[in-house]
Structure 1
Amino acid sequence: MRNDHDTVDDALFAALRGMWRAIDPMPDDLVDRMLAAVAMEDLSGEYELLTLVSDSESVGVRGEGGTATLQFSDGTTSVLLHVSTGASGRHRIDGWADGSVIAVRMVHTDPATTDEATADPGSHGRFVFDDVTPGVACLRLVARESGGGLREFRTPQFEV
């Protein structure tokens, strides 16, 4: 059941909508851009390039060689990782990212738990994750676009 208070609120909200439409109208292509953005949310993840480079074709990250180099790119941002194994069996990940990367987060999953760690990419895009346990991980980087906006770059999962 509506009362006079609801009618006053409806009129006030209608006046506010009218004011904002006049002062700051919605861009004509906003709906189309939002639909495209949602549709492309994971598209960059699907097109990311994973390259595994090692000293031997048979040596992986967990191989006897103890080191591996991984490269990820989506055409705009590229990340190079060097994974090495320490004497304790834990790993160190040295990374380099091009572009204006301002934050790096590693999501490390094993069957029992999910662990996250952050690293500062520094002014030259170099970052380090020390004392990483073996398992499956992925990186999430936040990059500043040329227009000033922020964009997330996610690597595919890789085994440490």
Structure 2
Amino acid sequence: MTDTDAELLPRLRAAAEQLDPPPSDLAERVIAAIAMADISREYALLTLIDNAEAAVRGSDGETTTLQFSDGSASILLHVSHTERGRRRVDGWVDAGAVEVHLTQDDRTLTTTPDDQGRFAFEDVAPGLCRVRLVVGGDQKDLLTPHFEV
């Protein structure tokens, strides 16, 4: 940068601030926009599809079906009780998922969906968990909020 540039830049800045000042709430709007753009990575929306009593893979037959979506990817989970009091989580994804992680406290189960987007976790302990869908390309990962299995 030359001496002439050093003299010119403050004058340009003053002219821009006088003729086209930034909105007074620009910083707050930028922070809000960044937070909203990143929220799909943090949380997907939950839709409780079904909470039915049906005899599926379990002694008491309770099943729950949940759907999560962030607008670009969706995941459908079917949670059923097993005879041993554990849970089986069957899932389907509509995005090009590379991996699916189910996390409970410090334990993480990982699997890879098949070509149709189907995957399953067997022998899951009852309790709170969350699922992270790792997708390829430019698409963001989908992270569900915590839910009960």
Query: What TM-score, normalized by structure 1, do the two folds share?
Result: 0.62
In structure 1, the residue corresponding to 2:126 is in which secondary structure? coil
Aligned position for 1:50: 46
Q: 1:65 to 1:123 in 2, by over 3 A?
A: same
**Between Structure 1 and Structure 2, how many residues are aligned?**
112
The separation in 1 between residues aligned to 2:37 and 2:123, in whole angstroms, is 32
Aligned position for 1:77: 73
In structure 2, the residue corresponding to 1:44 is in which secondary structure? helix
Indicate if the aligned counterparts of 1:82 and 1:93 stay in contact, CA closer than 8 A.
yes
**What is the alpha-carbon root mean square deviation over aligned residues?**
2.3
Aligned position for 1:32: none
1:24-78 deviation digits (Å, cap 9, x = unpaired):
xxxxxxxxxxx8996347411576221222226xxxxxxx651110110111101
Aligned position for 2:125: 133
Unaligned segments of structure 2, at least 5 residues: 1-30, 54-59
The separation in 1 between residues aligned to 2:89 and 2:43, in whole angstroms, is 23
Indicate if the aligned counterparts of 2:66 and 2:78 stay in contact, CA closer than 8 A.
yes
Write out the 4+ residue segments of structure 1 that deviate beyond 4 Å after TM superposition. Answer: 35-38
In structure 1, the residue corresponding to 2:145 is in which secondary structure? coil
Aligned position for 2:115: 123
Aligned position for 1:152: 141
Bigger mean CA deviation after superposition, 43-52 or 127-136: 43-52
In structure 1, the residue corresponding to 2:113 is in which secondary structure? coil
Q: Percent identity?
A: 48
Aligned position for 1:108: 104
Deviation for aligned residue 1:103:
0.8
Q: 1:38 to 1:103 in 2, by over 3 A?
A: farther
In structure 2, the residue corresponding to 1:156 is in which secondary structure? coil
Q: Which has the higher contact order (CA 8 A, sep 6+)?
A: 2
Unaligned segments of structure 1, at least 5 residues: 1-34, 57-63
Q: 1:74 to 1:134 in 2, by over 3 A?
A: same
| Amino acid aligned to 2:143 | R
